[in-house]
Structure 1
Amino acid sequence: MIVNYTAEGWEIIYQQAHAQLAAQLAWHWQPFGPSDRWVGTLSAIAQHDDEQRNWDGHYGLTPAGAPANFTMKEFALEQAQGVLNAARFQGRWRSLLTSMHLSTLYETLRGQNKSIDTFLDEQQASQKRWIKELHLRKADAQQAYDLMHWCDRLSLILCRRELPEMSRALEIYTGMDGQRYDVLRPEKGGPLTVHPWPFHDEQFSVSVEANLVRQLQFKDDAELAAALRDAPIETLTWEFKK
């Protein structure tokens, strides 16, 4: 979950919804590569946070009983393996991009325990095999993954309300080609923009649903789950303009 504290309680966005927002952003890019790969890229982006574990123990709560933001939780090997296994059923291209994303996120954990190291080694070996089997240049895979990482990052900036005030720019991501992109809101209350502008439309909107929970503390995951089921839902919308 992505958890934001507000004056009225908690604003909670599911990670799967954040991934769907990332796919909306990718939709507005100028497509590149063969159409089957482009659709596979969109699928990889939209589903990169699937296979979340069911809540058990204190998976959904902090020790103080507040909803836990995803950054407060430890690496879940089960979820990483699950999202990769799900990608397998949509082909090697989506599997490749999903695997590259897992490597990017978790390579820093190498050396913590044998099971994580084995998983990371498997990703590197699989990526090399898929690139060879699909007759790809490594640069082609990197271009698609850079887009996936870019959209993931911008979606998180929006969902976590990280956009700076006073028209200040925030870096989204710099890909392997060295191109840096920044997001900002030039006018208070106005649309957002990205420099340089990467989208094929000059103006568009994207959205995500958030659960608004007013209760601040919970005794267990079941109570939090019940509050989320009953919580009002707000659609958060962002306008972008060149």
Structure 2
Amino acid sequence: MIVNSTPAGWQVIYQQAHALLAAQAAWHWPPLGPPDQFVGLLAAIAQHDDEQDDWHGRGGHHGLTPAGAPASFVQKEFSLVQAQSVLAAARFQGRWRSLLTSQHLSALYGALRGQTKELDAFLDELAARQNEWRKALKINKKEAHQAYALLHWCDRLSLILCRQEIPEMGRAVEIYRGPDGPTHTLAQPGGPGQLVVIAPWPFRVKEVAVSVEASVLAQLQFADDAALAAALRAAPVETLRWELRPAPAVK
């Protein structure tokens, strides 16, 4: 989950919903490669955070901080089971989707190498399988990395929006280096609730709207996972929307 503090309690965005927002952004990029590959890339983006650990109704405190608050994903330990599961699920949509998903897992967890033998073996498996998939698909490293750059870019854009990481006072924040080459930045010159500007503008249309659903919790603490799950099922849902525009030209 992505958890934001609000004056009234908590705003909770499921990671799968954040991934769907990322796919909305990707859809507006100029297509990378032939249609079948671009659709596969969109699928990889939309599903890159699937297979989350199922803690709903189990009791325990997997979804909670030690203080009993809803736990954001950055407060949780790395889950090798989830990483293995999302790669296994990708297999059913083919080698291209598997290659993109495995590149994302390598990027996310490569820095954790050395923590456990199981993780190291998984990272080695990812690298080996990526070589196999590229050869089978007749795709070189540059092409594979360019496609993955779009996944990473859209993931980062979505996280900035969902985690409320837009700087104050119109300052810009770096998104990521896009598949088109330059590193893009994002800002909100008019303040919260106003237009979001991106420079340089990457999309094939001149204005883009994206949205995500968030559950609103007024309760601050929960006894266990079951209590949090019940509250989330009953919580009102709000739709968060952003209007994206090109940054004004500098005169």
**Alignment TM class, shorter chain as reference:** over 0.9
In structure 2, what is the Cα distance between the partners aligned to 1:190 and 1:222?
37
Distance 2:90 2:179 in 1: 24
TM-score when scaled to structure 1?
A: 0.97
Q: How does 1:184-199 map to 2 (within 5 A)?
A: 184-188=187-191, 189-199=193-203
Q: CA deviation at 1:32?
A: 1.8
Whole-angstrom CA distance in 2 between matches of 1:142 and 1:19: 19
Name the CA distance, whole Å, in 1 between partners of 2:124 and 2:179.
22
Give the % identical residues. Answer: 64
- Cα distance change of structure 1 residues 178 and 39 upon mapping to structure 2, 3 Å threshold: closer
Q: Which residue of 222, 227, 231 maps to 1:218?
A: 222
Q: Output the CA distance in 1 between the equivalents of 2:53 and 2:229.
A: 14
SS of equivalent to 1:236: strand
Offset, 1:191: 1.1
2:186 alignment partner, one of 183, 187, 204: 183
TM-score (normalizing by structure 2) = 0.94
Q: Which amino acid aligns with 1:73?
A: K
**Counterparts of 1:190 and 1:236 in 2: how far apart (Å)?**
12
Residues 222-237 of structure 1: pairs in structure 2 closer than 5 A: 222-237=226-241
Distance 1:50 1:39 in 2: 17
Q: For structure 2, which runs of at least 5 residues remain unmatched after alignment?
A: 247-251
Indicate the larger mover: 173-182 or 124-133. 173-182
Quick check: 2:147–2:179 contact (8 Å CA) kept in 1?
no
The answer as to 2:208 corresponding to 1:204 is: yes
Q: Distance in 2 between matches of 1:102 and 1:185?
A: 31
Residue 14 of structure 2 corresponds to 14
CA distance in 2, matches of 1:176, 1:235: 29
Change (3 A) 1:25 1:103: same
1:72 to 72, 75, 78: 75
Matches of 1:145 and 1:8, distance apart in 2: 38
Aligned pairs, how many?
242
Partner of 1:27: 27
Letter of the 1:212 partner, please give it: V
- Deviation string, structure 1 residues 106-133 (Cα, Å, up to 9, x no partner): 0111111111010000000000110011
After TM superposition, the structure 1 = structure 2 runs for residues 72-111 of structure 1, keeping only pairs within 5 Å, are 72-111=75-114
Gaps of 5+ in 1: none
CA distance in 2, matches of 1:119, 1:160: 29
> What is the identity, as a one-letter code, of the residue corresponding to 2:190?
E
Structure 1: how far apart are the matches of 2:107 and 2:128? 15
Deviations 1:154-199 (A, max 9, x none): 1000000000111110000125875211001132343111100000
Measure, in 2, the Cα distance between the counterparts of 1:95 and 1:163.
Answer: 32
Aligned counterpart, 1:158: 161
Root-mean-square deviation (CA), in Å?
Answer: 1.2
2:249 corresponds to: none
Matches of 2:168 and 2:114, distance apart in 1: 39
Letter in 2 for 1:4: N
